[in-house]
A and B are shown apart, each in its own frame.
Chain A
Amino acid sequence: MKTELFPLSISLFNACSLFYLLSTLFYIVFLAKRHRTIGTLASGTAWTGLAANTAALVLRWIAAGWDHPPFTNLYESLVFFAWGIALVYLLFEWKYQHRVVGAFVLTMALAAMGLASLSPNKEIEPLVPALQSWWLHIHVITASIGYAAFVVAFGFSIAFLLKDRIDLSRFGIAAGLLQIFTLILGSQGSILTRGIYQLTRVTFIEGNMQVVQDPTGHHAASITIPGVGTLLLIALVLYLAATILFFIKTIKQESQIGTHAFTVVGAAFGAQSLGIGWLVFKAGIMEEASLSANPYGFTLLVLAWAAVGFLLLFTWKYDGLLGLLPETEVLDTIEYKSIMVGFPFMTLLIVTGAIWANYAWGRYWGWDPKETWSLITWLIYAVYLHARFTAGWRGRRTAYLSIIGFISVIFTYLGVNIFLSGLHSYGSG
């Protein structure tokens, strides 16, 4: 019976992804249309997704055995992270009855599930000796809840800035820079230097994906996806132009420039959407290409694209949005309440990590990149709390701090695994 549970859990995970996708779409429509029914549908599908997520995790746990919890490799960790985000968000939604940030927060849960689905290895892998410990349980659960609370806080910070009538051009500059950064980084520079987009070349042996080495044997080979590079290069150039225009607008304050900038962004978004769509299509039909070969790069691309999508949505439905959002004080308060939830969990995360490290490796703190970055995230939120309670900061300044903290959370959770290596890496991610 146990072996049947595993495929069932995979099906439930897929169902869960679908529900999160539906829910995200409903929340986005809710932002635009403000219909109560749509809002209820959004929450309903989110709760259903969470139920599916929970059931899938439980089944996977049973299938793997009691001392093998479902968060020991990258796939499981991402799914568990998505679960945490959905749970914490829905609890906050239930307590405060505000649906407005559902769109941003659920996008993160969806992104985690999406990245998980691109993970080449979804099997239950038996635990290596270092992971055979009860501290694994506490450490990962505190991570999931803590990070989830910070993601919810981020959602409310964005909502606050919107309601506070922040100049959307500033969002524009941030979004533009993010696009330039991800397009260059996600393609390892090839879009800028050669106008092409490449994926790692792979072959499939008996259903298992194997990376193909290039003739020297030192690196993985690449395969160019035709057409994608051109489209993304156009998008990149347009985003650059838009960012410059936004920057000029913030200095000169002429709304005409702002309008032009948004038109350019719209065009860039169109080109980018075409590029990503073409990439997905081609990667699906080309034999030697697979999005699972570059899951991080692709997810980064899609997340950045979604950010611009949100920006365009804000601009298009600005007045409606402002009417929908509750008072700034409310948004500000919930933002700091979620951080008050996240901070103790983050502290517990670092402490349990130290205890576990001491039993496994003989030292409780080794300035490992993961440890160091989690400390930095902790420090940023400590600064947030001091700024709020000791220095009396409110409003925009604390919202910015919350956003900086969120970026640090993402880097701590994923960035360290991708860009830096250490004892914490999940192997060849």
Chain B
Amino acid sequence: MSPKQETSLWTSIRKTFSSVKLTIVLLIILAIASILGTFIPQDLQTATRLYSQGTFRLLNSLELFDLYHSWWFITLLFLLCFNLVICSLERLPRVWKLIQSVDPQWKDSRLNRTSFSHSMNLANPPVKPEEVIRSITRSLNRSHGEILACLIALAAGFELIARLRHVSIIWDILIIGSALVSIIFFIYTRFQQPIVTPHDQGVDIFFNRGRYSRLGAYIVHVSILIIFLGGLVGNLLGFEGYVEIAEGESKESIWLRGEDIEIPLGFQIRCDDFEFTTYPGTQRPKDYKSKLAIIDRGQEVTLSRQNGVPLPYKIIEVNDPLTYKGITFYQSSYGAAADSAVKLRVNDPNGEEVETYSVNVKERVSLPDSELSFFVFRIEQNPDGMGPGVQIALFQPGQHPGFFWIFNNFPELDERRKGQFVFTLLDVEEKFFTGLQVAKDPGISLVWFGCGLMMLGLAIAFFWSHRRVWIRLSGDQLMIAALTNKQPAAFSKAFDRLVQFLQPFAEK
């Protein structure tokens, strides 16, 4: 292929992907696809229930039941990224030129072209340029003070909240880092010197502030790419899984979510205790906590501290997980372990006691003088707000087993079933297992960094502008003209203030 043909292929790709129209088209398709995914069930179980065989097969072939991970959705995301990169690369040189092009010459035409212009007769010419510069700097720095104050307050607020809830070190670094960078940058701009050009007619002074604010939008776009990258890294190198550990038990591997794959942890995790509290007088869960220990290469690892004393365990709860070697364990759920004991009483329909049993889950018991047998199928702490209950499976030869629930709080309930026997739940001696969500995401710091960068980029793009002020001191005249690329209303106030600060030099 000749070089000319190669260039034209790349050029046409570049041309397609540098169009903002393509961005809008891609965004609209992605939006419609995402909306579709909220109406079409994203798990196969519900989908098979909801749709007829034919429809199901058709929709499944397009991967509509796992839309957000389908090949075409991911392709669209990649196309969007590529589009973003090319668009930015195409437009960046021009913006960079604008930033670097410094134009300190006074031009008389500026007085007419911009609405921010003013001329005054000087009371005591000639005026020292340094004095004019000082007044103008003081005036321009006024508005900086407000923004800086807001930024610091915001950073301080986040830092305070982060400290209160043991957020990770990376977050601390990011917040303090960006706050520091912003503070340094603002201090730098305050001391930025204007360009002074003396000439035979007088002196020209040129203030050029906030030119890097033109990069705001590009920072936002880069941050989006960083977030995507973080998501990609997390998807490729990380995993999401689940593990159930009974009290006293330890596990060495976890199960991958949605698939039957076991992933070895490389260490052991043990559940020493599980605690479940409800709000007094209600069945509403207040807290559930697991005391977790980690044994790595035979050693118990220090996981937390109390009064400076290192402890070989950490008590986790919802919103407060345990992280070890990049793997994080989240308190997700819990349940009754297999060796829980259930105490129940069986009566005949007249109310006469037949027998009291103490059984384990799934331990089959035959009922006296009958063909019936039963076992406890499930224990639930609080199904439907009914309080502690167990589900009984009742077996009769030649028939499907019947399932029913009995509840600790409603001892008479089973009479309504009008069965051959009446069951009453006396006590549940529960041993629990803790259900932990397990996740590894090496890309997460990238994602958080991208988010922080995006907020910074938005702040710059929206609230910081490129302001240029030209002054000519000539004879007994002082002329000012100014331009801003954004926020004309706010700049109007700043310009009025500027003129106000220069009033001392003017003729009364």
Contacts and interface: CB of A to CB of B under 8 A. Distances in A.
B285 A128 contact: yes
Interface stretch (B57-65, B111-119, B318-326): B318-326
Given A129-B317, A133-B165, A386-B20, A376 B35 contact: yes
A372 B39 CA distance: 11
B284 interface: yes
B284 A125 contact: yes
B24 interface: yes
B432 to A, nearest CB: 15
A132 B330 CA distance: 14
B286 interface: yes
A372 B38 contact: yes
Contacts of B286: 126, 129
A367 B68 CA distance: 7
A390 B19 CA distance: 12
A382 B84 CA distance: 14
A130 interface: yes
B484 interface: no
Contacts of A369: 38
Interface stretch (B264-272, B307-315, B448-456, B495-503): B448-456
Contacts of B320: 359
B455 A344 contact: yes
Contacts of B287: 129, 132
B9 interface: no
B127 to A, nearest CB: 37
A324 interface: no
A138 interface: yes
Contact of A132 (B38, B318, B441, B454): B318
A338 B328 CA distance: 40
Q: Which among A343, A351, A380 has the greatest number of chain B C-beta atoms within 10 A?
A: A351
Contact of A383 (B27, B231, B285): B27
Given A126-B279, A375-B34, A344 B462 contact: yes
A47 to B, nearest CB: 25
A416 interface: yes
B24 A355 contact: no
A111 B28 CA distance: 31
A362 B321 contact: yes
B321 A138 contact: no
Tell me whether chain A's interface is mostly helix, strand or loop, or mixed.
Answer: helix
Interface string B444-475: 10011001001100110010000000000000
B437 A347 contact: no
B140 interface: no
Contacts of A382: 27
B406 interface: no
Given A125-B284, A126-B279, A129-B288, A391 B20 contact: yes
B244 to A, nearest CB: 15
A344 B462 CA distance: 9
A128 B318 CA distance: 9
B54 to A, nearest CB: 25
A247 B457 CA distance: 45
Nearest to B73: A367
A408 to B, nearest CB: 9
B38 A344 contact: no
A282 B462 CA distance: 53
Interface in A122-179: 125-126, 128-130, 132-135, 138
A278 interface: no
A141 to B, nearest CB: 11
Interface in A373-408: 373, 375-376, 379-380, 382-383, 386, 390-391
A361 B38 contact: no
Contacts of B455: 344, 347-348, 351
Contact of A354 (B23, B318, B332, B451): B451
Interface residues of A, number: 42
B165 to A, nearest CB: 5
B292 interface: no
A130 to B, nearest CB: 5
B279 A379 contact: no
Given A128-B285, A358-B444, A364-B447, A344 B458 contact: yes
Q: Which among B34, B161, B320 has the greatest number of chain A C-beta atoms within 10 A?
A: B34
A330 to B, nearest CB: 11
B153 to A, nearest CB: 14
Contacts of B104: none
A45 B181 CA distance: 45
Contacts of B318: 129-130, 132, 360
Interface residues of B, number: 47
Given A128-B285, A361-B330, A362-B328, A372 B37 contact: yes
Contacts of B437: 361-362
A379 B31 contact: yes
A74 B275 CA distance: 29
Given A125-B284, A362-B328, A347 B454 contact: yes
Contact of A351 (B240, B439, B451): B451
Nearest to A415: B38
Contacts of B164: 134
Contacts of A132: 287, 317-319
Contacts of A391: 20
A365 interface: yes
Nearest to A359: B319
A161 B119 CA distance: 41
Contacts of B441: 363
Q: Which among A138, A362, A364, A367 has the greatest number of chain B C-beta atoms within 10 A?
A: A362
A177 B31 CA distance: 23
Contacts of A135: 165, 319
A340 interface: yes
A363 B459 CA distance: 27
Contacts of A130: 318-319
A375 B80 CA distance: 15
Contact of A133 (B42, B279, B319, B454): B319
A379 B80 CA distance: 13
Contacts of A383: 24, 27
Contacts of A356: 319
A359 B317 contact: no
Given A129-B286, A344-B459, A376 B451 contact: no
B282 A363 contact: no
A343 to B, nearest CB: 7
Contacts of A91: none
A340 B35 contact: no
B438 interface: yes
A351 B447 CA distance: 10
B438 A362 contact: yes
A134 B444 contact: no
A363 B31 CA distance: 22
Contacts of A363: 240, 439, 441
Given A138-B161, A347-B458, A351-B455, A365 B42 contact: no
A420 interface: yes
A362 B240 CA distance: 8
A174 B454 CA distance: 37
A133 B162 CA distance: 11
Contacts of A416: 38
27 contacts: A126-B279, A128-B284, A129-B287, A132-B287, A132-B317, A134-B164, A135-B165, A138-B161, A344-B455, A348-B455, A351-B455, A358-B444, A359-B320, A359-B321, A361-B437, A362-B330, A362-B332, A362-B439, A363-B240, A367-B42, A373-B35, A373-B38, A375-B34, A379-B30, A383-B27, A386-B20, A416-B38
The 4 residue pairs across chains A and B that have the minimum distance between CB atoms: A129-B318, A362-B437, A362-B330, A369-B38
Interface of B: 20, 23-24, 27, 30-31, 34-35, 37-39, 42, 68, 161, 164-165, 231, 240, 279, 282, 284-288, 317-321, 328, 330-332, 437-439, 441, 444, 447-448, 451, 454-455, 458-459, 462
Given A354-B451, A367-B34, 11 more contacts: A129-B331, A132-B287, A351-B455, A358-B444, A362-B328, A367-B42, A369-B38, A373-B35, A375-B34, A386-B23, A416-B38
